[in-house]
Structure 1
């Protein structure tokens, strides 16, 4: 019994010459521009479009526009050349032409204002290193330098030097025989030698 090929499965219909030419022309035409919604996912994110960025105060927002945060740009912890890419605006940088140090772009007062504003929004870690290593809030409270005299009481001079004086006395007693021999001469040295040769009794 014979079976036709059409019974086993459908064959793909053959395309006409006119249809093939249409497909070729469609491939040659330039692609349509992406819609605005699709372009947002491909292009780099704009800070002004970010809803979180819009909530920042103007001073902090303008700073991040001029100096992008750490993930996009790194800043040096030490003074570098003024034309360097990682020049820190909070530090005095050196002019490569004149060899002099230029003042920071932001004064210490403005640095403090920027840090406090960034701390309120939880993005203080994105700022470059401050110029004078100033501490704020919890860091200032936990790592503050104690006032002189508050950690240890002053005490009297005799109480402060007691341990050192006891150590000096013990060292002098251990070297007493040598010190006396230097002043009393050979007779005392011979006396010490005879004393060292004597045997101590058992009782």
Structure 2
């Protein structure tokens, strides 16, 4: 019964999603997967109970034992276990977003590997990390542009000048309408 539902679901998926799941099957759906463990780098190690075949080519004994298959998240960068160099993700952020949108339309988002483009992930990260803008903490100020930083002082100077304006006009009238007028009174 369940296999018929899976076949029916697979027939309704678009080719792009089918190709993705064919190349990167969800770890939960891999054959013989009694246990999965997830790491911080996005790699999932799937242990299987396959018999050891002496003719089969085994992976490097230092990296993986013969009973483990390494599943790499195609949405996250990973470190090569021999060279130690970082490899870019297989899918960039734009392609990740497109796949997530397509999976949302067909209701298979839960089968996708972890990505920051999953629904609700942005809100969860905002909740965990908070608003990360320099100067928004308690007792801090945002740097801002020069005119923004000096605006308060300039407005105060204007206010003082406007309050002193009637006295300045009176003085200007007494000194002969500009004759003998000095700009800065001493």
Asked whether the two chains share a fold, i.e. TM above 0.5, the reply is no
TM-score when normalising by structure 1: 0.40
CA radius of gyration, larger in: 1
TM-score when normalising by structure 2: 0.43
